[in-house]
A and B are shown apart, each in its own frame.
Chain A
Amino acid sequence: MVFYLRRIAFYLVTLWAAISLNFLLPRMMPGDPAAIMIGKLRRASGGRELSEETVKAIYALLGADKSVPAWDQYLAYWGRLLAGDLGVSSTRYPYPVATLIGNALPWTLLMVGAATVISFVLGIVIGAWVGWKRGTWLDHLVPATSLLQSIPYFWLALVLVAAFSVQLRWLPIVGAYDVFAFPSGPEWSWDFVVSALYHAFLPALTIVISSVGGWLLGMRNMMVSTMSEDYVLTAEAKGLRPSRIRDRYAARNAAIPSLAGFSIALGFVVAGSIVTEQVFSYPGIGKLMIQSVQGLDYALMQGVFLVITLTVLAANFLMDLFYGLIDPRVRSHG
């Protein structure tokens, strides 16, 4: 129980730190992001006066003038967030930030989520096998995985697009579905799902190829270490089938650190998927983030950063709970 309480407390503190960072950054900078943002909103609205509510929201999110005490600003900021009000976007005026994020989030969650799970499972299975076959020619393949890891995600994506989309014309270049076949946007039909899968294939492949090396290498190294443990020798001495020793004795224990390292790897996957979405113009959270940063749409940028952080924290938290479930040592020693 103490383990779970500690983890929950940790994630609450991290959440608070991330939100406070979001609060502090625009206010610490020389210059006035709120003024820049309001200027951008004015231009986006075509010179019409902004509603008082919009202006108030921007001041609450990005910093009012120095006469308002910092503590009051902080409270107002929290009030906005808890009400789900993230301001109005200037690059996609007049849509509220929350709506834009709501539309983009499912695309990223499905595509990146599926790619991450596939890559994790592939890495663990292949890594266990390569580790089992240690000391054979397979060892020489291990350095090759580092090549996969060192390839910038977006460059791999560019090369894949050049090969499969531009040269061979097998796969689409941009987008998440065929916008000409479905002009009214996403719908629940078989054709649409096929179109979405067809468009998600190359971005997902990019993420799988560039992230599988890390899982594979970590699992292989743990497998090699685990195989020299005494209990594996005991299992061998008992005359158990090699496949049983491999799957039940070695691989299960060797996989534990990979699960623990999931959170660190997840950060890389998120980073990689942001740039990958840019290459494919995939209408997900990453594309939104890039759009906001390039257009200096501070309200959208803050909102997207918050949602990305929240999602990553949630994924980590679930992984922690799962980790505590399968490895009792973590629960007792924290």
Chain B
Amino acid sequence: MADRYASIRYLLPKWSGKLGAGLVIVGLITLFGVIAPYFTADPRDSGNKGLRPPSAEHLLGTTKLGYDVFAQLAAGTRGSLYVGLVGGLSAMLLAIVFGIIAGYFGGWLDEVLMLATNIMLVIPGLPLVMVIAAYVQNAEGLGDFARSSTLVALILGITGWAGSAVVLRAQARSLRTREYVAAARVAGESGLRVIFVEILPNLVPLIAAQLIFGVMAAVLGEAGLSYLGLGPTNSITLGTMLNDAQTGQAVGSRAWWWFVPPGLLIAMLGTGLSLINFAIDEIVNPKLRLAPQAARLQRKATKEGKGVAGGGAFA
């Protein structure tokens, strides 16, 4: 019975310190974003005294307008995670559509889809997002949606899928030539069925890695966009906090408790996500795991006097 799960288990990352640390960091931040807003003070309550350093009453002090920074941080984390998730997922879906279809079907479809992908890849992302946001957010007839975090996330997703599509296409191309895929085709399975049943499951680690990148990119992209004043107005995110700090002269008035926490949280979230990605990378590219391990063993053997090479490139 145990062998039934062997095929699933090899897709899961090997347990390692990196993976553990990454999961703990991301888990804690997610918990903070999901649970903390229920327990903190109202993040939009400006009744407090402004620009107070951290104290027992306000764990992280207050902003110029008297908002409690800790409460804002909790609400901002939730907002940023939401943008990250929506942006990352929409980018991933587009990457799957463009990358896998291009890689699997090949031919002229591949040429056309890859041309579109490469164009998206070389057009610089943030300026494009800024231009689109500037037009869309001032368009008539969108109402509240025009400045919502969902729209910001979708804009980030629509402009941020190209890198993942290239990676997925390369892998789908190589899977296409495997015997078992050929067998499925000979057995008369339709193209879409081959993609969903034979190819997609084998791309799961890669897609997961790309999703994590997408979430990271969306969180960072939102932070940049909000910092420039193009972020959502209906919700608090880590980026809008930094924008408030910028317009409120937080740096000049040395209010470190105001601008340091949101950026630090973004950096921690990014670090946690990329630590998880390292673990996934080591499944996709076993050399990354095996080569340092081999070098370590060899050096240990040399140290114990059992080695063949007395140093040099492999020690």
Q: Which residues on A are within 8 Å of B, measured CB to CB?
A: 10, 13-14, 17-18, 21-22, 25-26, 29-31, 33, 36, 134-136, 139, 142-143, 146-147, 149-156, 158-159, 161-162, 166-167, 173, 221, 224-225, 227-228, 232, 235-236, 242, 245-246, 263-264, 266-268, 270-271, 274-275, 278-279, 289-290, 293-294, 296, 298, 301-302, 304-305, 308-309, 312-313, 316
A275 and B274 contact, CB distance less than 8 A: no
Q: Hey, which chain A residues are within 8 Å of B124, CB to CB? A: 266-267, 270-271, 308-309, 312
Q: Hey, which chain A residues are within 8 Å of B141, CB to CB? A: 30-31
C-beta contact mask, B187-213 vs A, less than 8 Å → 1, else 0?
A: 000000000000000000000000000
Nearest residue (CB) in A for B266 is: A152
Nearest residue (CB) in B for A239 is: B312
Q: Closest 6 interchain pairs by CB? A: A150-B270, A155-B263, A271-B126, A135-B295, A146-B274, A135-B296
Nearest residue (CB) in A for B274 is: A146
A224 and B287 contact, CB distance less than 8 A: yes
Interface centre among A134, A166, A236, A290 (most CB of B within 10 A): A134
Q: Does B223 sit at the interface, judged by CB under 8 A?
A: yes
Q: Does B228 sit at the interface, judged by CB under 8 A?
A: yes
Q: Does B230 sit at the interface, judged by CB under 8 A?
A: yes
B173 to chain A minimum Cβ distance, whole angstroms, is 13
B216 and A289 contact, CB distance less than 8 A: no
Q: Hey, which chain B residues are within 8 Å of A26, CB to CB? A: 135
A305 and B131 contact, CB distance less than 8 A: yes
Interface centre among A26, A139, A154, A301 (most CB of B within 10 A): A154
Q: Hey, which chain A residues are within 8 Å of B262, CB to CB? A: 155
Q: Does B130 sit at the interface, judged by CB under 8 A?
A: yes
B286 to chain A minimum Cβ distance, whole angstroms, is 10
Whole-angstrom distance between the alpha carbons of A31 and B143 in the complex? 13
B267 and A161 contact, CB distance less than 8 A: no
Among listed B59-67, B84-92, B250-258, interface-contacting one: B250-258
Among listed B1-9, B33-41, B42-50, B115-123, interface-contacting one: B115-123
Q: Does B102 sit at the interface, judged by CB under 8 A?
A: no
Given A224-B288, A264-B121, A275-B295 contact (CB < 8 Å): no
Given A29-B135, A143-B278, A289-B130, A236-B266 contact (CB < 8 Å): no
Near A by CB (< 8 A), chain B positions 284-314 give 285, 287-288, 290-296, 299, 309, 311-314
A295 to chain B minimum Cβ distance, whole angstroms, is 10
Q: Hey, which chain A residues are within 8 Å of B246, CB to CB? A: 158, 279
What are 13 inter-chain pairs, A to B, with CB distance below 8 A? A14-B119, A30-B141, A134-B295, A135-B293, A147-B267, A159-B260, A162-B254, A267-B126, A275-B228, A293-B228, A296-B138, A302-B131, A312-B124
Q: Hey, which chain A residues are within 8 Å of B18, CB to CB? A: 143
Whole-angstrom distance between the alpha carbons of A132 and B224 in the complex? 36
Given A264-B121, A278-B228, A146-B288 contact (CB < 8 Å): no
A246 and B313 contact, CB distance less than 8 A: yes
Q: Which residues on B are within 8 Å of A, measured CB to CB?
A: 18, 21, 115, 118-119, 121-128, 130-136, 138-142, 163, 216, 220, 223-224, 227-230, 242, 245-246, 250-252, 254, 256, 259-260, 262-263, 266-271, 273-275, 278, 281, 285, 287-288, 290-296, 299, 309, 311-314
B288 and A225 contact, CB distance less than 8 A: yes
Whole-angstrom distance between the alpha carbons of A302 and B134 in the complex? 11
Whole-angstrom distance between the alpha carbons of A228 and B312 in the complex? 14
A298 to chain B minimum Cβ distance, whole angstroms, is 8
Given A134-B295, A275-B224, A166-B252 contact (CB < 8 Å): yes
Q: How many residue pairs, one in A and one in B, have C-beta atoms under 8 Å apart? A: 213
B163 to chain A minimum Cβ distance, whole angstroms, is 6
Nearest residue (CB) in B for A241 is: B312
A135 and B299 contact, CB distance less than 8 A: yes
Whole-angstrom distance between the alpha carbons of A153 and B287 in the complex? 32
B210 to chain A minimum Cβ distance, whole angstroms, is 13
Q: Hey, which chain B residues are within 8 Å of A227, CB to CB? A: 291, 313
Q: Hey, which chain B residues are within 8 Å of A301, CB to CB? A: 130-131, 134
Nearest residue (CB) in B for A224 is: B291
A308 and B270 contact, CB distance less than 8 A: no
A151 and B270 contact, CB distance less than 8 A: yes
A146 and B271 contact, CB distance less than 8 A: yes
Q: Hey, which chain A residues are within 8 Å of B115, CB to CB? A: 10, 13
A150 and B271 contact, CB distance less than 8 A: yes
B163 and A264 contact, CB distance less than 8 A: yes
Whole-angstrom distance between the alpha carbons of A227 and B296 in the complex? 14
A312 and B122 contact, CB distance less than 8 A: yes
A256 to chain B minimum Cβ distance, whole angstroms, is 16
Nearest residue (CB) in A for B130 is: A293
Q: Hey, which chain B residues are within 8 Å of A289, CB to CB? A: 127, 130
A30 and B140 contact, CB distance less than 8 A: yes
18 more A-B residue pairs beyond the given contacts A31-B141, A134-B292, A270-B124, with a C-beta to C-beta distance below 8 A: A10-B118, A14-B118, A21-B123, A135-B296, A154-B223, A161-B251, A162-B251, A224-B291, A227-B313, A266-B124, A271-B125, A271-B127, A271-B224, A274-B228, A278-B227, A296-B134, A301-B130, A302-B131
A228 and B131 contact, CB distance less than 8 A: no
Q: Hey, which chain B residues are within 8 Å of A14, CB to CB? A: 118-119, 122-123
B140 and A31 contact, CB distance less than 8 A: yes
A152 and B267 contact, CB distance less than 8 A: yes
Whole-angstrom distance between the alpha carbons of A17 and B227 in the complex? 29
B17 to chain A minimum Cβ distance, whole angstroms, is 9
A304 and B254 contact, CB distance less than 8 A: no
A294 to chain B minimum Cβ distance, whole angstroms, is 6
B254 and A305 contact, CB distance less than 8 A: no
A154 and B242 contact, CB distance less than 8 A: yes
Q: Hey, which chain B residues are within 8 Å of A135, CB to CB? A: 291-296, 299
Whole-angstrom distance between the alpha carbons of A201 and B26 in the complex? 34
B270 and A290 contact, CB distance less than 8 A: no
